[in-house]
Amino acid sequence: EETVKTGKLYNGSDKGRIYRISPKNGGPAKWLNTLSLGKVTTDELVENLANPNGWHRRTAQRLLLDRMPADATALLEKTATESISPVGRVHALWTLEGLGKTSPAALQANLSHPKPEVRENTVEIAETHLQRTPGLAADLLRLENDPDPAVRFQLLCLLVKDIENKWTHYAALSALDVNPAKIFQNAVQTLADRPTDGRKLFFQNVAALISLTGDETSIADVIRTATTTPTAQTGWWQAASLEGLALTLPMTGFEATRLADAKSRLLANVTAQTPPELRKASLKMLAFTGVPSGPALQKLVAQAADAGTEPGFRADALELISFADTKPPMSLFTQNLDPRQPTAVQQAALKALGRRSGNEPCRAVLAKWPSLTPALREEAVEMFMHDTDRMNLLLAAVADGRVQRGTVGWRRTVSLMNADDMPVRRRAREVFAVTDDRNEVVQKYQSALTLPGNAQRGLAVFEQSCATCHQMNGRGRAFGPDLASLKNRTPAAIMTDILNPNRSIADGYEYWTAETTDGRQISGVLASENASAITLRDLSGKDTPLSRNAIRKLTAASGSAMPVGLENALTPQQMADLLAFLKK
């Protein structure tokens, strides 16, 4: 009787035997000879997982794993969730894990067990099941304040061990009762010792989640922590934290004025000594909060104009100054559009000019056009694409030869030739007019049908010239027909339709223009319609629903939404590569 209750073994002739604990503690014990342990039944082995003697528990567990009996799962599940023996539960859980039969129910039942040893082992097992059972994350995070330090340590080990797996982040942070501010502070204490891609992403994700809460105190605390004594060792996680805030704060409706006190801290991060990645992250936040005027800003203006300052810092300073409420003279930016200046500085000057209102910045860029390298011209053309006045300036420059047609690029050419503003659209089609003899163009490209095409290069051609309007294998934009439907057609037929898009317009992809009763003009393909409304989808993928009562006139274009002229952007070899990609 004493043996059953206390778990002690008899001495003498009974030494070397084990017993099975009966369901009711204190009941009769069934003795089994250790030499015949391999002959016992599955249920007897499972019951011995609760044996007070460790050797017997481990032996029973080993035999279960060796035999892998089909009838063990239900018995193990019951032991893992109902046994009064903590060690029995732990052994049953690990045996289920070894057999690949662990269930979420068995884990969840033991995360709240009164014995910390059971909770600790359960956390360790649960780490391999987070991806398959995301709901476990919420249960695990409830243990962050567990009274037992071993449990808290195991929970931390779980997160650190899987920190490179982004799905662990999402599972952990999606818990309903998670406290992201507390997790952020814990991460600073435990994950900031060395940079890895996973750790950077975790800091970014936690900070992004904090911004989504809209809690001013927590957001300000992240900024304070990320701007305190930055060094080469801390800059990586401080930058990631600010990146996370900058990523989501603009989407939340959070008022930047609530972070007025943080502006000076962020501005102090924009120095030549600040690690570059932290400096750039601070710039992104200042673009949201605004840049405070004062001596610090004036110092940056002077450094940006100083050719002796490090180019990377000058570029960042120019970008920062462009966000300031007090606008410096435009000459600060135009004087940096000089071939003698580093490319990064010139690119920053172009971006800064693009943020200024009016047409004067664009006129200044056109005056500098002859000295701009191709990489800079790409940035410069983008400045003209944001309003109709600037588009007209660009079209005028193309028409008189100051800007080359090829520089505009096919993607922007398509946008201009399909602009919502009808005068811009007509002017673009005049400026980019090509020969009306499409048969002549097709004949010039016949060599593309015999040249060896490279599908990998063709992917690059697709992304540059086609992805603006078409999808292929999940890439691109769903404006025109999915080009995967072309695989069964001949290369010659595909090329002819590319060079002569008006020859065959796919059903459902006509280009419509709606004139509304309030004077607007909206163009696009017909994305959907019902009895009371239609929806037009433009080149950017934006859907605009229109009530039929609000439409004064609706007309379909006589030609394709894809304008002619792609031959101005592709060589015969590039056409051969594109065909190889489309046929792959």
Instruction: Summarize pLDDT for 201-235 with one digit per residue, the tens.
Output: 889 988 998 998 899 999 999 999 999 988 889 99
Share of the chain above pLDDT 70, in %: 84
Residue with more model confidence, 164 or 376 = 376
**Quick one: tokens of 154?**
């195991």
Yes or no: say if 101 and 93 are a contact pair by the CB < 8 Å rule: no
Reported as a single tens digit per residue, the pLDDT across 134-185 is 677 767 767 767 788 777 666 666 666 666 666 566 655 655 456 788 888 8
User: What mean pLDDT do residues 51-70 have?
Assistant: 86
Say yes or no to pLDDT of 299 above 80.
yes
Residues 6+ apart with CB under 8 A from 479: 468, 469, 470, 524, 525, 537, 538, 539, 541, 561
Q: Are 551 and 401 in contact (CB under 8 A)?
A: no
For residue 24, name the pLDDT band (cuts at 50, 70, 90): very low
162 vs 333, which has greater pLDDT? Answer: 333
| pLDDT, tens digit, 9 for 90 and up, residues 547-568 | 888 888 887 776 666 766 676 6
H or E element that contains 41: none
pLDDT band for position 95 (50/70/90)? very high
Give the predicted TM-score (pTM) of the model.
0.52
By three-state DSSP, how is residue 457 classified?
Answer: helix
- Is the Cβ–Cβ distance between 535 and 543 less than 8 Å? yes
Whether residue 211 contacts residue 249, with contact meaning beta carbons closer than 8 Å, is answered with: yes
Q: Are 214 and 257 in contact (CB under 8 A)?
A: no
Tokens representing residue 388 in the block: 């109709």
Q: Is the pLDDT of residue 6 over 60?
A: no
Local structure of 476: helix, strand or coil: strand
The mean-pLDDT minimum among 105-109, 175-179, 314-318 falls in 175-179
Handedness of CA 303, 345, 242, 186 (dihedral sign): negative
Q: Which of 254-258, 268-272, 410-414 has the lowest mean pLDDT?
A: 410-414
Q: Has residue 32 got a pLDDT over 70?
A: no
Give the tens place of pLDDT for each residue, 46-55. 988 888 888 8
Span 3-14, average pLDDT = 32
3-state secondary structure 542-558: CEEEEEHHHEEEEEECC
Contacts from 113-120 at CB under 8 Å and sequence distance 24+? 113/86, 113/89, 115/86, 116/146, 116/147, 116/148, 116/150, 116/151, 117/86, 117/90, 117/150, 118/86, 118/89, 118/90, 119/143, 119/146, 119/148, 119/151, 120/148, 120/150, 120/151, 120/154
**Beta-sheet strands, E only, within 59-128:** none
Longest Cα–Cα distance of the chain, Å, equals: 111
pLDDT digits (tens, 9 = 90+) for 497-521: 888 776 666 666 777 888 888 888 8
pLDDT of 476 reads 81
- By residue count, the chain amounts to 584
Query: 118, 90 in Cβ contact below 8 A?
Result: yes
pLDDT for position 308: 84
Q: What is the mean pLDDT of residues 310-320?
A: 89
Among 49-63, 312-326, 400-414, where is mean pLDDT lowest?
400-414
CB-CB contact of 404 with 432 (8 Å) = no
The structure tokens listed for 532 are 């009371």
Within 8 A by CB and 6+ apart from 445, the residues are 495, 499, 567, 572, 575
**Spatial distance between the Cα atoms of 241 and 263, rounded to a whole number of angstroms:** 16
Percent helix, strand, coil in the chain, to 5, is 60, 10, 30
What the block records as the tokens of 317 is 């300073």
Q: Which residues, 6+ apart, have CB-to-CB distance to 467 below 8 Å?
A: 475, 476, 477
- The candidate with the shortest Cα–Cα distance to 465, out of 449, 453, 450, 477, is 477
Please state, as a whole number, how many other Cβ atoms lie within 10 Å of the Cβ of residue 299. 12
> pLDDT class for 349, splitting at 50, 70, 90?
very high
Q: Is the pLDDT of residue 76 over 50?
A: yes
Residue reference for tokens 């120019």: 318
Query: For residue 506, what pLDDT is reported?
Result: 65
Residue 456 pLDDT greater than 60, yes or no: yes
* Mean pLDDT score, 83-91: 92
Average pLDDT over residues 69-81: 91
Strand 511-516 vs strand 17-20: parallel, antiparallel, or unpaired? Answer: unpaired
Q: Is 312 helix (H, G, I), strand (E, B) or coil?
A: helix
Whether residue 280 has pLDDT greater than 60: yes
112 vs 558 pLDDT, higher one: 112
- pLDDT, position 234: 92
Report the share of the chain in percent with pLDDT over 90: 20
Residue 20 has pLDDT above 60, yes or no: no
Over the chain, what is the mean pLDDT?
A: 81
**What letter represents residue 149's amino acid?**
P
Per-residue pLDDT at 96 exceeds 90: yes
Element holding 471 (H helix, E strand) = strand 471-472
Give the three-state DSSP class for 27: coil
Dihedral in degrees, nearest 10, Cα atoms 463, 465, 470, 474: -10
Q: How confident is the model at residue 13 (pLDDT cuts 50, 70, 90)?
A: very low
pLDDT at 191: 83
Confidence band, pLDDT 50/70/90 cuts, at residue 19: very low
- 258, pLDDT greater than 50: yes
